Amino acid sequence: MRLLIAVFTFVLIAVSASAMSLKDFNAKPGQEQTVYIAAFIDKMTTDIREKNPELAGNIRGWFARKREGRTGSEGAEALYVELAALERLAQEGKVDLSRIQVEGVIVKVVKDKFPPPAR
């Protein structure tokens, strides 16, 4: 469990220097958003693969495999639901999208789907 938490923390810290706010992310065209998300997921899973190849593969598959009868993957759907919820909160004046990093949102949905094992 500590290893999994350490890996997620490392990934989040490693990209913080070049992280993008949701405000800046939302200003980009859809294709650029998709490329940015894919690049982050690739980096995250590459970093995780060294310590936990099975988890890295599961995360990649969760974001990459389109489901039958759907236009996208379960991971993409979970991410966009989270992003839409944050956008709604921003419209209500409850959050500031310039203070939320898109990478943090991705890590959050991954941790929700693949939680660290209980102690």
Given a contact cutoff of 8 angstroms between Cβ atoms, the answer to whether 15 and 43 are in contact is yes
Given a contact cutoff of 8 angstroms between Cβ atoms, the answer to whether 59 and 37 are in contact is no
CA triple 98-100-101, angle to 5 deg: 105
Query: Model confidence over 39-77: pLDDT tens digits?
Result: 999 999 999 999 999 999 999 999 999 988 888 899 999
Instruction: For residues 47 and 60, give the distance between their C-alpha atoms in angstroms, rounded to a whole number.
Output: 12
| 3-state SS class at 78 | helix
pLDDT value for 71? 85
Q: What is the mean pLDDT of residues 73-89?
A: 97
pLDDT value for 18? 73
Percent of the chain with pLDDT over 70: 86
| φ, ψ dihedrals at 29, nearest 5° | -65, 155
Given a contact cutoff of 8 angstroms between Cβ atoms, the answer to whether 62 and 76 are in contact is no
Q: What is the mean pLDDT of residues 14-25?
A: 78
Q: What is the mean pLDDT of residues 4-21?
A: 57
More confident residue, 6 or 114: 114
